């Protein structure tokens, strides 16, 4: 198996800084409650939060949409719920990648029911060609073609999350 670099460490950093700048402008005078969707989003959430200048609080949620295969199940299970209420908070959901859209389109109504003041979504990667359920994403890092990618939080059977870049997996060799 080989991994080819698709988005370099330098490009990721530059783009995250740009997104943080827009978020800083959009949330001026507000505070931001980041919900990091485990596990894949931890790297993006940490790096993004570093460049955010408004007050930030962070919580985590683990939802499952993929098992050890690369085929989506069609709905989600909450494996680990948030530790704090989101009522009245300006929530920013931080995702690693939006693929079919099933995870977020199932999760958003659940979170809206908890009465946050607002909910926005940021994803580092977006694979629009595979979309099955509509998701309104507010801040997208990179749109990518239909590749299975790893690194910067993203895994293949739990491996490669620690790669500093986004790479494309080639399993045929
Ligand atoms: P969705 O529900 O199909 O949008 O899938 C979202 C989740 O699937 C992401 O948060 C990832 O955990 C996982 N996923 C989708 N595409 C990839 C990929 O190319 N590499 C690694 N994980 C992926
Ligand atoms: Mg994920």
CB of 126 closer than 6 angstroms to any ligand 1 atom: no
Beta-bridge mates of residue 149: 168
Residue whose CB lies within 8 A of the most ligand 1 atoms, among 62, 96, 137, for a mutation test = 96
Residues 6+ apart with CB under 8 A from 109: none
CB of 45 closer than 6 angstroms to any ligand 1 atom: no
Find the catalytic residue in 99, 126, 145, 173.
99
CA dist 115 → 19, 26, 47, 81, 110 (Å): 26, 20, 27, 16, 10
The pLDDT score that the predictor gives to residue 42 is 97
Relative to the alpha carbon of 62, which ligand is closest?
Answer: 2
- State which H helix or E strand residue 104 sits in: helix 102-112
CB of 41 closer than 6 angstroms to any ligand 1 atom: no
The pLDDT score that the predictor gives to residue 67 is 41
Neighbouring residues of the ion ligand 2, judged by CB less than 5 Å = 40, 96
Relative to the alpha carbon of 129, which ligand is closest?
Answer: 1
145 is catalytic: no
Q: Which of 21-25, 62-66, 84-88, 163-167 has the lowest mean pLDDT?
A: 62-66
Instruction: Evaluate if pTM is beyond 0.85.
Output: yes
The pLDDT score that the predictor gives to residue 68 is 38
The pLDDT score that the predictor gives to residue 75 is 76
Residues 6+ apart with CB under 8 A from 144: 6, 7, 125, 126, 127, 166
Cα 38 to ligand 2 centre (Å)? 6
CB of 51 closer than 6 angstroms to any ligand 1 atom: no
């Amino acid at each position: 198996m080989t991994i080819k670099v698709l988005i370099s460490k330098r490009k990721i950093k530059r783009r995250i800084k740009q997104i943080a700048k827009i978020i800083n402008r959009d949330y001026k005078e507000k505070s931001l409650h980041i919900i990091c969707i485990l596990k894949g989003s931890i790297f993006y959430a940490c790096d993004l939060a570093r460049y955010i200048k408004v007050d930030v609080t962070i919580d985590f949620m683990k939802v499952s949409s993929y098992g050890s295969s690369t085929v989506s199940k069609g709905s989600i299970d909450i494996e680990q719920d948030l530790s704090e209420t989101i009522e009245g908070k300006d929530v920013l959901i931080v995702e690693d990648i939006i693929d079919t859209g099933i995870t977020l389109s199932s999760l958003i109504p659940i979170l809206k029911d908890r009465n946050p003041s607002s909910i926005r979504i940021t994803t580092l990667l977006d694979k629009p060609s595979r979309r099955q359920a509509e998701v309104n994403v507010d801040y997208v890092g990179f749109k990518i073609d239909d590749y299975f990618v790893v690194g910067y939080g993203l895994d293949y059977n739990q491996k490669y999350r620690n790669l500093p870049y986004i790479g494309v997996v080639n399993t045929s060799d």
